Chain A
Amino acid sequence: MPELNDIQNEFVKQEIEEFIEDADERRHIIALYASAKPALQDVAASIIGGRHEVTNELTKAQLDAGLEALEIMDDGLIAGMAIVGIKFRENSIFVPEVLACARAMKAGMQHIEPILSASGVEPVGKVIMGTVKGDMHDIGKNLCIMMLRGAGFEVIDLGVDTSPDDFIEAVEEHEAQVVGMSALLTTTMPNMGRTIEAFVDADLRDETRFMVGGAPVTPDFADDMDADAYGDNAVECVEVAKRLINEFKQSN
């Protein structure tokens, strides 16, 4: 079994020691990093530290050195975000730090994405995101979008005040499997359920998975409106989207 000392990057080692407390999670993260090339551990470290200029340089340097884009993304960028996500979930870091990490992720992805799409590598999945009709708030939704893109999803952002028809149109146009809806207000939250009903009416419900979130939204509300999943925060949003994509693939 890989051990902490199999990881070369000192900063990553420290981060794991300090912030990953759950034993299973720690084993998983150590295994992930121990099998990554040292140069990609450095890329991950730059993500964890939120140092976008460093991520930018290192990602480019590794591509120039001939490493595969996919390997840099998985073992560097996404591995970095895995630790960021755990720290956020555990209240070790907060929104400002996550924003800095997401910015670093974006700096790396700008080099990776064109290569992946040119070589026909499909994104992890396609997600349509929007704040529901009548709601003008977008901080939470935008955080989710940053994290999703950071994890390799293609995200179509419909912005705020999104009508059921806009969601339907976007799903049809982009052939997306997952729709993420956000609301900050209790008064607009019912529009999530109405959007799902509109998909039922349009005969599109079976081929679409819905995830919902936002300040007033709870797992109970999500059940009540017949959503497929609830996410408590932007990090959970990524986990939920991955799960929904997998479920979708298995059922088709």
Chain B
Amino acid sequence: MSKLLERISSGATLISDGATGTYLQDHGLEPGGCPEHFNVTHPEVVEGLAGAYAAAGSDMVETNSFGGSRYMLKKYGFEDQVAAYNRLAAERARAGAAGKFVLGSIGPTGEFLEPSGTATEAEMYDAFVEQVRGLAAGGGDGFCIETMSDIGETVLAIRAAKDVTDLPVIATMTFDLGKRGYFTMMGVTPGDAARQLDEAGADVVGSNCGIAIEQMIEIIAAMRSATEKPILTHVNAGIPTIVKGEIVYPDTPEHMASLMGDLVSAGADVVGGCCGSGPDHIRAFVKAIRG
């Protein structure tokens, strides 16, 4: 068993990191800029991102590679840079957060599989293999497949990671609260997600983004009752709102920290932040969980 999985399975609650995009935008990433390109052009910012979370007390940090598949990089004309950008992403995280676990972030391709869309399974699998290889070459300790809404796509990413590396795989999906409860955009419930990601071979399952911590507690409880696997969650700092003409994520570190106990009791083994959260949130999570 890898060290990362050993730690996650030890029974102690681990702390992951907070948002990547929010931090990069605060450090010069223009709206519409390619975040992964920053691995090349702004190494100090990407290392600083990992360093800030390491200093805040994160046990693991995610790489700046969420949109690092060839499908996403193509939107910026960087589709031939998949291997390099992902390798660099892992190296930057490693350099910035020495002694911490590095999770290779893998986000959705932005495409639908056939017959809903035009992407074939073979093509999408190849794209994930390419990204996984880059992240592994850069020294990642595992993968965090995240913000997924389609089971088919998520399973391809899990398979790709398992087929070409021996590293642990975390897979998390994003749910929205609709009229009949929690579903991903593609209609997957938290319970189904936990079961199917577990069956597909994910070592850790979970949920990230989409809703605020109060709802995430319900989602994690539903996933907990459907799987024995460890559960990870990256939670948004609430749903964005306007305060004095500025767009803000409303949930303060204190508010989120006050609900960490409930999140852990619901079944989370690893907790961290998603959109709108930063190092201050992580510091508050560490304090709430470890005292």
Contact = CB atoms under 8 A, between A and B. Distances in A.
A216 B249 CA distance: 10
A91 B75 contact: no
Contacts of B242: 220-221, 224
Given A94-B186, A186-B240, A134 B32 contact: yes
A99 B117 contact: yes
Contact of A94 (B30, B75, B110, B187): B187
Contacts of B178: 91
Contact of A90 (B150, B180, B275): B180
B187 A96 contact: yes
Contact of A134 (B31, B241, B247): B31
A159 to B, nearest CB: 10
A207 B153 CA distance: 43
Contacts of A97: 187
A160 to B, nearest CB: 7
A137 interface: yes
Given A91-B179, A94-B186, A218-B241, A137 B110 contact: yes
A128 B31 CA distance: 22
A179 to B, nearest CB: 19
Interface in A117-149: 133-139
A188 B178 CA distance: 25
Interface string B136-177: 000000000000011000000000000000000000000000
15 contacts: A91-B178, A94-B183, A133-B31, A134-B30, A135-B31, A136-B75, A136-B76, A139-B110, A139-B112, A185-B21, A186-B276, A188-B31, A216-B240, A221-B242, A221-B247
A91 B186 contact: no
Nearest to A191: B31
B25 interface: yes
A161 interface: yes
Contacts of A190: 247
Chain B contact residues: helix, strand, loop or mixed: loop
A93 B110 contact: no
A251 interface: no
Nearest to B113: A96
Given A136-B72, A136-B76, A138-B110, 20 more contacts: A89-B179, A91-B180, A95-B149, A95-B186, A95-B187, A96-B116, A96-B150, A97-B187, A133-B32, A134-B31, A134-B32, A135-B31, A137-B110, A185-B31, A186-B240, A187-B31, A188-B31, A190-B247, A218-B240, A221-B247
A97 B186 CA distance: 9
Contacts of B115: 100
Interface string B253-278: 00000000000000000000001100
Contacts of B55: none
B185 interface: yes
Interface string B179-207: 11101111100000000000000000000
A55 to B, nearest CB: 15
9 smallest CB-CB distances across A and B, nearest first, come from A134-B32, A94-B187, A134-B31, A91-B180, A91-B178, A136-B75, A187-B31, A99-B116, A96-B116
Contacts of B110: 137-139
Contacts of B32: 133-136, 161, 188
Nearest to B176: A215
A90 B181 CA distance: 10
Contacts of B149: 95
B6 to A, nearest CB: 36
A134 B76 CA distance: 11
Nearest to B24: A187
Nearest to A185: B31
Contacts of A91: 178-181, 183
B275 A186 contact: yes
Contacts of A100: 115-116
A161 to B, nearest CB: 6
A245 interface: no
Max count, chain A CB within 10 A of own CB: residue among B76, B116, B184, B186: B116
Contacts of B183: 91, 94
Nearest to B108: A139
A217 to B, nearest CB: 9
A189 interface: yes
A46 to B, nearest CB: 16
A190 B25 CA distance: 14
Interface string A215-249: 01010110010000000000000000000000000
Contacts of B186: 94-96
